[in-house]
Amino acid sequence: MRYSRFLILLSVISITFLASCNGAKKTSQPEWVQLFNGKDLSGWIPKITGYEAGDNFGNTFRVEDGMIKVRYNAYDSFDNRFGHLFYQDEFSHYKLRVEYRIVGLQCPGAPDWAYKNSGIMIHGQTPESMEIDQDFPTSIEVQLLGSDSLVERTNMNVCTPGTNIVMNGELILDHCINSSTGYFYGEEWITAEVEVRGNDVIKHIINGDTVLQYTQPQLDERDETYPLLIDLNDGDKMLSSGTISLQSEGHPIDFRKVEIMVLEK
């Protein structure tokens, strides 16, 4: 009888131990963390061309109806006032997911190429390191693009302001490379995801489909920001981390979710 009780007690202890181990494994898995709290721009820093970091000219970036909205009510003309809303922290290995929609009419005076055009900037420089009249942070741009009867183009292309990337073992010096998506019409909500593995692979994913992949993001020696940023990066032109920012290029856009999953290196 005592032996049977001992076996039962041992079984209970073993099951409890295994359950606690499984629980520990579950809690150690990376989780999605909201970068946008749905209420205000806490943790975010605007930088608009011609203005100091932190100056949100014309309330360009605002929170209304639980969304980050990019609007141009205070602009008589866009006048090349490109804007970026930076999250306060820098990241290296992560998945970033946003839900967005491009809406309304383009701001008067915005360039033709910026029609139904916005973006997510990754591996970027800090807003404080940008020149006051600098249009775009040196970064990798994940383009957010819409189509209609006036223009048709693929979505989630990659552009490289002040940077270069490698595709299929070849250094790409072209400014933009198209993805494999179709066209996205109307003002529907779209889920855009970027998987970033430091200086290794970066993937663009839209509505669950991987549409572009590249490696080795790096500073471009031809760019005027190169001397400053190579120094800030301890002499290494390879980019393994950086800021994340949301773009204002002259067309209204809404973001109802911005979340990140930090991955192990």
Q: Which residue in 101, 204, 225 sits closest to 159, CA to CA?
A: 204
d(C-alpha 233, C-alpha 54), whole Å? 23
Residue 18: pLDDT over 90: no
Burial class of residue 114, CB neighbours in 10 A (0-12, 13-18, 19+): middle
Q: Where are the alpha helices (DSSP H) in the chain?
A: 2-28, 226-232
- pLDDT tens, residue by residue, 49-80: 999 999 999 999 999 999 999 999 999 999 99
The pLDDT value given to residue 9? 42
CA 59 from chain centre, in angstroms, equals 21
pLDDT of residue 29: 86
- Express each pLDDT in 118-137 by its tens digit: 999 999 999 999 999 999 99
User: CA Rg, the chain, in Å?
Assistant: 22
Q: What is the pLDDT of residue 22?
A: 52
pLDDT in tens, 223-260: 999 999 999 999 999 999 999 999 999 999 999 999 99
Model confidence pLDDT, tens digit, residues 149-207: 999 999 999 999 999 999 999 999 999 999 999 999 999 999 999 999 999 999 999 99
Tell me which of 3.10.290.10, 2.60.120.560, 2.40.30.10, 3.40.1390.10 is the CATH number of domain 33-262.
2.60.120.560
